[in-house]
Homo-oligomer: A and B are copies of this chain.
Amino acid sequence: MSHNTFGHLFRVTTWGESHGPALGCVVDGCPPGLRFKLEDLQVWLDKRKPGQSRFVTQRREADLVKVLSGVMFDTDGETMISTGTPISMLIENTDQRSKDYGDIAQQYRPGHADYTYDLKYGIRDYRGGGRSSARETAARVAAGGIARLVVPGVKVRGALIQIGKHKINRQNWDWDQVDNNPFFAPDPEIVPVWEEYLDGIRKNGSSIGAIVEVVAEGVPAGLGAPIYSKLDQDIAALLMSINAVKGVEIGNGFGAAEITGEENADEMRMGNDGTPLFLSNNAGGILGGISTGQPVVARFAIKPTSSILTERQSIDAAGNNVDIRTKGRHDPCVGIRAVPIGEAMVACAIADHYLRDRGQTGRLK
């Protein structure tokens, strides 16, 4: 089960399960001299934190991040300055409600990793799914908080654009709305629709899929490489590494399959300020694997959680047919909390390519 590390120069290693004492990550390769306060990281963890509305799991976690290494404190005793050494961050698990897992311990939830886990490892932490628990993503979000500091001026924002068949109206897109509703929806008109729809899902003990869009502005042009280290490839890999993600696209994505070269071409003109302008952004800010300077646009699809109250046919570890229902606290739509996670993954990919292009230390240049 190697490779809980990602990134080439900006490298993040995460560890921890939902039912151990804590989880966390080590951010290696962070340049020296970055200045930040704990609240600059905590803000992203709070965004992902469970229990913030009736539409997400009711598990209660403070999700307070601690920084254990890699920084020195400025004279104010509050501002941290990165030293270039590994930044170790830790988040305690506080709500490990002891309950009867009897069934799940021996039975496989359809659509869940239970089965493949047992098959591969022969041992499985049934108390929350081990590494496939969404709790692991708290560590990613903390790492993303550091990544956002690495590239000057970069701004990475995400939004939920679809729940089930209910899509936002892109005409209404307003970033200021995203934090004003429990869905990270950029379209205020979709909020009541989703509320009513998700209440129904929730009451039935059902679950539903969703689509998240992440946009990174201020990405310097020239980050990435033509193949095997394409910026979009690394973004796609990290988004696909998020639990329950089944699809990823860049810019027009699958829509590019349906249009002609004329429609797809992002035409260019020189701007009045003497810098090149793109007249459209079908490419999603990446051409030939390299950033153009336009906003980088990525989307990913999250499947519905497999933990549902409706009875489903399955088998148990002993090879018996069983019918299974999953009790306990779950997200009716895990896509909601995937928004800050997607942001973190995109921020990490950009930071990694930034360091590869510009160098890791910076001081000697």
Contact = CB atoms under 8 A, between A and B. Distances in A.
A328 interface: no
A214 B207 CA distance: 29
A297 B361 CA distance: 24
Contacts of A308: 260-262, 265
A1 B84 contact: yes
A269 interface: yes
Interface in A234-248: 234, 236-237, 240-241, 243, 246-248
A222 to B, nearest CB: 4
Interface residues of A, number: 152
A282 B244 CA distance: 12
Given A69-B15, A258-B164, A287 B112 contact: yes
A256 interface: yes
A69 B16 contact: yes
Interface in A7-36: 8-11, 13-17, 20-24, 26, 28-30, 32-33
Contacts of A28: 1-5, 13, 15
Contacts of A125: 72, 83, 85
A343 interface: no
Interface stretch (A45-53, A94-102, A180-188, A225-233): A225-233
A230 B240 contact: yes
